[in-house]
Amino acid sequence: MKAPAKINIFLKITGLRGNYHEICSRFIRYDALYDEISFVPGTFTDFTIEGMSAIKKEHNIIYKAYKELLAHTKSKRLGEFFYHHKVHIIKNIPMGAGLGGGSSDAATFLLMANKAVDLQLEPQDLAKIGAKVGADVPFFIYGYKAANVSGIGEKIEEFMDDIPPLELKLLPLHCDTAQVYQHYRKNYLKFDPKLASKMAQMSSCQIFENFTPLIANDLYQSAINLCPSLAKYKQNWYLSGSGSTLFRSENENSGNK
């Protein structure tokens, strides 16, 4: 099953909730880039993930999602299923790129496990479970093409968007999400809920037409400060999430390299 990437057309910080940042953001599901997850039959002594050996299992978001699903359902059939199947993943979405690859993997795993073991959980149940392991997981659970996401990621409202063709620039940079948010909180913290609300009502095409990249994403300047090589792109390229992936509308920028 494909686990697609996401792009943040805009991202505004609207408040704080403890150690978390409340956001208002337009999430776009980007189907052209995706990881692939499958359950492979076999005999295993423990929950097994193949294809992500660089990450210890205990730190893997798929494993964390499995543990939360097991705790929620207390299903013996779920545990038994993964003694007879391993999780195989083909990673195509780069990590630390602001594309939600890990969250998409976790959401896709939850959807697949729910169906494979016939747990009969509703999407809202899976979203609550997924939110415990990653703020972006609920968006991927619902499978919307576009949505306004708010709170700390738990409020998902489908948005019927006018999405132009997008050009992505994948840079060989890893932007640490936590560090980018911490830098923003320390150096640039400010809230403009009226602007965020206005942007939430606009189509993606209108966002490109009316807002510069730095205004569209409150985290952009912090990402630049932590990854200075991003600076040369700030005039013409928008930043997804906390970076490092850049994007722009092919319609608006076809003649601007």
Identify whether the C-beta of residue 164 lies closer than 8 Å to the C-beta of residue 205: yes
The answer on whether 134 is annotated among ligand-binding residues is no
Which sequence positions are flagged as catalytic? 6, 136
230 carries a ligand binding annotation: no
Which residue type, as a one-letter code, is found at position 7? I
Q: Following DSSP, what letter does each residue of 6-38 receive, concatenated?
A: EEEEEEEEEEEETTEEEEEEEEEEEEEEEEEEE
Is residue 103 part of an annotated ligand binding site? yes
At 85 the three-state DSSP class reads: strand
Among the listed residues 85, 86, 108, the one whose alpha carbon sits nearest the alpha carbon of residue 34: 108
240 annotated as ligand-binding: no
Hey, is 55 helix, strand or coil?
coil
Using alpha carbons only, give the angle 99, 102, 106 rounded to the nearest 5 degrees: 130
**Is position 99 annotated in a ligand binding site?**
yes
The annotation status of 130 as a binding-site residue, yes or no, is no
Q: Name the token pair of 191.
A: 């809230």
Q: At 230, phi and psi to the nearest 5?
A: -75, -20
Task: Check whether 53 is labelled as a binding-site residue.
Answer: no
**Residues comprising the binding site?**
94-104
**Residues comprising the binding site for ATP?**
94-104
